[in-house]
Chains A and B, each alone.
Chain A
């Protein structure tokens, strides 16, 4: 599971009002190379919630991202590289995503998060 995905997910259990962002419990993190596409990154930048993204990257063991970011920073190759790396090249292979409100764990196995709700959460 990449951080791009993590930035889109939330715990939508019945009654939960702030299920985003999910806390990351990282058991196994892997790095996989992805070709850099600047146009794609610029599009995605506008959709990312930056603070949760930075926190998540730190939970995965990557501390290179600045606390705040502006679209202008995308012009810098160095920043683009770091953004690309954190967004697309860090993978959570095994672990869990934890609901901030209820503590409910959504397991991540073989890189696939299981976001299905149990019968009483529906």
Chain B
């Protein structure tokens, strides 16, 4: 059945993939793993309004309620270019679909939403009054707690409940209100009336926001994005989720919120074991929200992982934000000077071994991603998901869409988030479709040695840090030709969403 899906107007690339991922989690798919989408008449592809085909209301409700970006999923009772057309459409909508929600015993609320324009309370009431052809009067009970204003009880004799109604109805109007209202252009007026089936629980965000998190680090993942990652990974009770670059645990917190068991590792022991004190560490983050603590945290190098050789297909999902060397550089084992060939191989003397802190070397993005894919290919169950951020430099008006590939994986989503004019990060969702064979393991070992032998070369080539921070040669302030790089992605209210 087709539903009207209204998104929050932000993180545009993430909206549909989130719904697709949750639909899959809620059992919407049999064979073909893609949802059908349609744009409403007169609407731009960036519009918050889309039609989506979902198999049942229960699935639609579950998808919407778990999502972060769906403002509402509605059973459409009518739409049109004008209120007259809307009335016609609603009258034609089958009674057996409408009447069950207009019974005398149930309470309701009607919200008027004009996208991109603010209308007065009186105007809102006028619109609602004009809906009197809908048999909200099918009930004869006149409520004294109808709260609009004294007048409204004349038309709606049902039980209005603004705080916690049984059924929520929305009257939505979209029109060309002129430019600069912060929304994608609508060519001509289009109005919708629908019954709300489900909506995102945005109260999660103030609860989990970073600014009240007990233990933070410079690269802690923003709460909204962490929930989106957990939804892409389909975290749920009974599943085991792993983060090989756990840091302060911000991504695992989101996965644990959805009931998954979590595990994390990091090469920096101070972050993982010590934190900033006994009440300010990774464990206290979980305690703060009453979440199940991670099953284990360990200090390990993703380049030389400590797993036993027979171990595979253990994790249901791997969710992470690898270090890309822009704001925080990655590290791997092995002395820096050793790998550069400046110093010969050495042995740590026996008496110094117990407290020895092994030196680490810089970890290039290419090698980091190779190791991550190898780890995921081996340790994920078939059907398991690898969800991670991949940085891409922006070159004028586009990004390179050659994302990392691996024979065991199928890429199902790539969601770009612009970080600056120079670079974006893309959230990649890969599903493991093929088992990790001996051949693949061999090839990975060879590649690992290649990286080791050519350590210097990898550190110099493709250095993302310098691409982001080198002095601007093209963008010398706003007076210079600002068309370059800015036409590509449209701005809404002066921002890239």
Contact = CB atoms under 8 A, between A and B. Distances in A.
B308 A120 contact: no
Contacts of A122: 304, 333-334
Interface residues of B, number: 41
A62 B272 CA distance: 28
B295 A116 contact: no
Interface string A1-27: 110110011111000000111000000
A5 B295 contact: yes
B472 interface: no
B347 interface: yes
Contacts, number: 106
Given A39-B238, A107-B354, A122-B333, A114 B308 contact: no
A114 to B, nearest CB: 5
A19 B269 CA distance: 22
A9 B265 CA distance: 12
B358 interface: yes
B306 to A, nearest CB: 4
A119 B334 contact: yes
A2 B295 contact: yes
A117 to B, nearest CB: 5
B348 A120 contact: yes
A38 to B, nearest CB: 9
B218 interface: no
A43 B347 contact: no
Interface of chain A: mostly helix, strand, loop or mixed: loop
Contact of B359 (A11, A49, A105, A119): A119
Interface in B210-252: 237-238, 240
B296 A5 contact: yes
A5 B242 CA distance: 12
Contact of B309 (A1, A20, A34, A120): A20
Interface string A25-61: 0000000001101011001100101000000000000
A19 B347 CA distance: 20
Contacts of A49: 308, 310
A40 B301 contact: no
Given A4-B295, A9-B306, A35-B292, A116 B301 contact: yes
A112 B238 contact: no
Interface string B307-340: 1111101100000000000000000011100100
A19 B305 CA distance: 13
A117 B296 CA distance: 19
B300 interface: yes
A37 B238 contact: yes
Nearest to A119: B335
Nearest to A105: B354
B304 A117 contact: yes
A118 B295 contact: no
Interface in B288-308: 292, 295-301, 304-308
B374 to A, nearest CB: 14
B267 A116 contact: yes
B353 interface: yes
Contacts of A118: 348, 353, 356, 358
B52 to A, nearest CB: 30
A112 B304 contact: no
B383 to A, nearest CB: 13
Nearest to B300: A115
Given A113-B298, A114-B269, A116-B267, A8 B358 contact: no
Contacts of A110: 273-274
A109 interface: yes
A22 to B, nearest CB: 9
B19 interface: no
B295 A88 contact: yes
A47 B381 CA distance: 11
Interface in B339-385: 345-348, 353-354, 356, 358-359
15 contacts: A8-B311, A8-B314, A9-B298, A34-B292, A35-B292, A37-B238, A37-B261, A39-B238, A40-B237, A112-B297, A112-B299, A114-B269, A116-B333, A119-B333, A119-B334
Given A5-B263, A122-B304, 17 more contacts: A4-B296, A5-B296, A9-B298, A9-B306, A9-B307, A11-B306, A19-B308, A20-B310, A37-B237, A37-B261, A39-B238, A110-B274, A111-B297, A113-B298, A114-B299, A117-B301, A119-B348
Interface of B: 237-238, 240, 261, 263, 267, 269, 272-274, 292, 295-301, 304-311, 313-314, 333-335, 338, 345-348, 353-354, 356, 358-359
